[in-house]
Amino acid sequence: MAINIDNFLKSKKRNSKMMDFQDLVHVDGVSVSTASANLYGNKRDDLVMFYFRSGANYASVYTQSKIVSENIKWNLNLKTKKIKALLVNTRNANAFTGKKGYQGLKEIAEEISIRLTSKQKEDEEIPDKIKFNQILFGCTGTIGETFPSEKIKQSIPALIDKIKYTQNKYIWMKAALGMMTTDLSPKLAMEECKIGNTNIKIYGLAKGSGMIFPNMATTLGYIFTDADLSSSILQKLLKKNIETTFNAISCDGDTSTNDMVAIFSTSMAKNPIIKNFNDPKLKDFDESLHSVLLNLSKRIAADGEGASKFITVKVNRSKTQEEAKKIAFSISNSALVKTAIAGEDPNWGRVIMAIGKSNVNINLNKLAIRFGSIKIIEKVILINSYNEYEVAEYMKNDKIDIIVDIYTGNKSFTSFTMDLTKKYIEINSDYRS
């Protein structure tokens, strides 16, 4: 069955299904459209365009993989102050496609620039000439397959014809669904805040369910705000907040070639000008941005391929945050820990194993471990009141918390992951069929 909003809503009544998501409405300066280029061989939406009528300041963070997709190369090569459009395609990663893949993006960008320039002439009192190097790309899907640039290029007129200058929850949902690959659910989040006395919106969409590990992975995340913030301020805000959100999730320990999280500022809110990253007027925006990023990243981890349980691993009282992070991910990425949780087996010995292999020095005389509120290890020994039946009952929950205290300092780090199920193997063994 093709992925579209009608099919998504079939499993429940529309109103019930839509209640699962926040009420994203309109962000001034952002236009959204979706279309099918028939990349999946059916009519599901596989192209999503975000159009910024007056341009948008932007900042991005990308995969740290040493092998990157052609669209990442394209984005990194852009030397423009304002972005006019972001085009996202699914089904094809445009990775390991060489010069043809890169040239395909250039041809698509040129087509978009011509069509959007024409639209500017129709719709704007003072039209802009939109340049091909003002177009940003997000690609996701299979690595190594020929990039379907002709199919995408032929779909651009329909995509631009469907541009909506005002949005509602339904349109944002269509965009989130259009970005999905193996995801089971769309991912949307929003916050409203203030810069000075000016009301600000922050909306976010993301996709990702497999090949998830920092620094990000098969993850596309896009944040839209009407705030008036420079690209340099946006970059600092994004880099700061990504570390404890998108860079805190792991589904399978694998990092993709296409990871990308970007934020776009339309400047329509006319808030007080912010020149300094440390300006106290940014505090509310900073916290709200973190909330949106954290909401989206948790949704990605919870929607991990075949996942039946959402797992939070919190490491406390570490000498450094980096050491806490190493331990947290050693636990989160352990196939043995994840399979035990999938089987609802209270095998805390696997957590001990994962802590040990992290190669971080710990205070064995003080080490403490909890599953949820249940104490298991205290001062490096099993507590006298340990009741395996109680822990086994806890393991039946959909959400599992593992808390580790190592007592070498006062730093902490929290990672988010999912269990490893038979379904994960099924999905990834059949991924291309």
pLDDT recorded at residue 327: 97
- Whether the per-residue pLDDT at 7 is higher than 90: the answer is no
Active-site entry in 218, 219, 245, 414:
218
CB contact at 8 A, 338 and 213: no
Delimit the domains of the chain by residue range.
5-302, 310-429
Give residue 217's pLDDT band: very low, low, confident or very high (50, 70, 90).
very low
Mean pLDDT, range 14-40, rounded to an integer:
85
Q: What is the pTM of this model?
A: 0.91
pLDDT recorded at residue 305: 66
Mean pLDDT, range 339-360, rounded to an integer:
96
The yes-or-no answer on residue 218 being catalytic is yes
Using DSSP, state whether 369 is helix, strand or coil. Answer: strand
- Give the ranges where 125-215 is alpha helix by DSSP (H): 149-161, 169-178
pLDDT recorded at residue 170: 92
Helix axes 149-161, 98-123, angle to 10 degrees: 20
Mean pLDDT of the chain: 91
- Whether the per-residue pLDDT at 19 is higher than 70: the answer is no
What CATH class is the domain 310-429? alpha beta
Helix axes 70-77, 98-123, angle to 10 degrees: 50
User: Could you confirm whether domain 5-302 is CATH 3.60.70.12?
Assistant: yes
Would strands 135-139 and 83-89 be described as parallel, antiparallel, or unpaired? parallel
Question: What share of the chain has pLDDT > 90, as a percent?
Answer: 79
Mean pLDDT, range 160-166, rounded to an integer:
93
Per-residue model confidence as pLDDT tens digits over 383-400: 999 999 999 999 999 999
More confident residue, 264 or 301: 264
- Whether the per-residue pLDDT at 132 is higher than 60: the answer is yes
Give residue 297's pLDDT band: very low, low, confident or very high (50, 70, 90).
very high
Give residue 200's pLDDT band: very low, low, confident or very high (50, 70, 90).
very high
Asked if the domains at 5-302 and 310-429 fall in one CATH topology, the answer is no
Mean pLDDT, range 340-368, rounded to an integer:
95
Burial of 107 (0-12, 13-18, 19+ CB in 10 A): middle
More confident residue, 430 or 250: 250
